[in-house]
């Protein structure tokens, strides 16, 4: 029986620090770094690489730990699918201090209701944030300000990537290991490699 952790931030490593979640996952019982799955993706995105890997890997009796329900998903529909999978695979979900034990296959109605309510609030919070962002962007445009992230150039590549890229170049590590060392997603590392190589 293994204990796995899942951490997620919506934006890349330059804007959000995922290490706090990793530290909390260790405190919640995820002792092995290899059992931690993390990524920089939107919580509403259904097809997330690391989450899908985790959900495929888990076996009966295993435990998935995350710091809060919004980390694993901000979609009520996807949360319901994860609850169904947890019951089918008979695993345990630990969401911060909230324990959802599906190891017997069944989930009591009160626990299921509370979990789904947490999911509704996480989705509502995300929608409110999105609404505020859109309103702020419209206000900025009205004032003539440019919108969007600054373009990543070779001068703006993270120092961690510059430090560890030679190991990747010499085939001492693969792209996933490089992403972990740089504390960013594999997609970001792939983009950095293209920028570094002038592609």
Active site positions, annotated: 10
Q: For residue 192, give both structure tokens.
A: 């950095």
| Helical spans, DSSP H, in 28-182 | 49-57, 69-72, 76-89, 109-142, 159-169, 175-182
**93: helix, coil or strand?**
strand
The whole-angstrom separation of Cα 40 and Cα 94 is 21
Q: Who's near 136: CB < 8 A, 6+ residues apart?
A: none
Question: What is Dmax (Cα atoms) for the chain?
Answer: 59
């Amino acid at each position: 029986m293994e204990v796995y952790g899942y951490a997620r931030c919506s934006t890349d490593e330059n804007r959000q620090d995922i290490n706090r979640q990793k530290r909390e996952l260790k405190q919640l019982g995820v002792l092995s770094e290899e059992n931690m799955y993390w990524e920089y993706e939107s919580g509403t995105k259904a097809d997330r690489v690391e989450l899908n890997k985790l959900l495929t890997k888990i076996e009966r009796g295993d435990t998935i730990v995350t710091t809060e329900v919004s980390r694993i998903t901000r979609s009520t529909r996807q949360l319901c699918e994860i609850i169904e999978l947890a019951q089918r695979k008979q695993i345990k979900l630990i969401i911060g201090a909230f324990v959802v034990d599906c190891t017997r296959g069944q989930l009591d109605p009160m626990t299921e209701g509370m979990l789904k309510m947490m999911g509704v609030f996480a989705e509502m919070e995300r929608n409110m944030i999105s609404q505020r962002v859109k309103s702020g962007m419209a206000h900025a445009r009205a004032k003539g300000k440019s919108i969007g992230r600054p373009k990543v150039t070779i001068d703006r590549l993270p120092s961690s990537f510059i430090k560890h890229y030679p190991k990747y170049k010499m085939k001492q590590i693969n792209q996933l290991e490089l992403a972990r060392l740089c504390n960013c997603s594999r997609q970001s590392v792939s983009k950095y490699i293209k920028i570094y190589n002038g592609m």
